[in-house]
Amino acid sequence: MLSAVVPEPTSWQADAACHDVDADLFFSLDEREQQQALAVCASCPVRRECLEHAIANGEHYGIWGGTREGERRRLMRDHRAA
């Protein structure tokens, strides 16, 4: 039987407010669930590191660092234009 290899979290990921939250919440299309995910991000001590990771790795889906996909696309576009 094959088992998935889960990489060790980086140091900032271990400190994330979402560390023990079901990841599906951050990839839900349901507005209410997205609001719940954003609320978790709002109190996260490593929100900036998470957002930087998402931008650096081109995370196109889900909520990362308290941002939705469209917000990250705008941030990346504005960064490239500057």
> For residue 28, what are its two tokens?
């839900």
Report the predicted TM-score, pTM, of the whole model to 2 decimal places.
Answer: 0.81
pLDDT of residue 12: 86
Residue-wise DSSP of the chain: ---PPPPPPPHHHHT-TTTTS-GGGGG---HHHHHHHHHHHHT-TTHHHHHHHHHHTT--SS-BTTB-HHHHHHHHHHHHH-
Could you give the CA distance from residue 69 to residue 14 in angstroms, rounded to a whole number?
23
Asked, for residue 68, whether it belongs to a domain, the answer is yes
Asked, for residue 26, whether it belongs to a domain, the answer is yes
Residue type at 42?
A
Asked, for residue 14, whether it belongs to a domain, the answer is no
Asked, for residue 5, whether it belongs to a domain, the answer is no
Q: What is the pLDDT of residues 28-54, one digit of tens each?
A: 999 999 999 999 999 999 999 999 999
How far is Cα of residue 53 from the mean position of the Cα atoms in its chain? 8
Asked, for residue 63, whether it belongs to a domain, the answer is yes
Q: What is the pLDDT of residues 50-76, one digit of tens each?
A: 999 998 888 999 999 999 999 999 988
Asked, for residue 60, whether it belongs to a domain, the answer is yes
Domains in the chain, number: 1
Asked, for residue 58, whether it belongs to a domain, the answer is yes
pLDDT of residue 77: 84
Q: Which domain holds residue 55?
A: 20-81
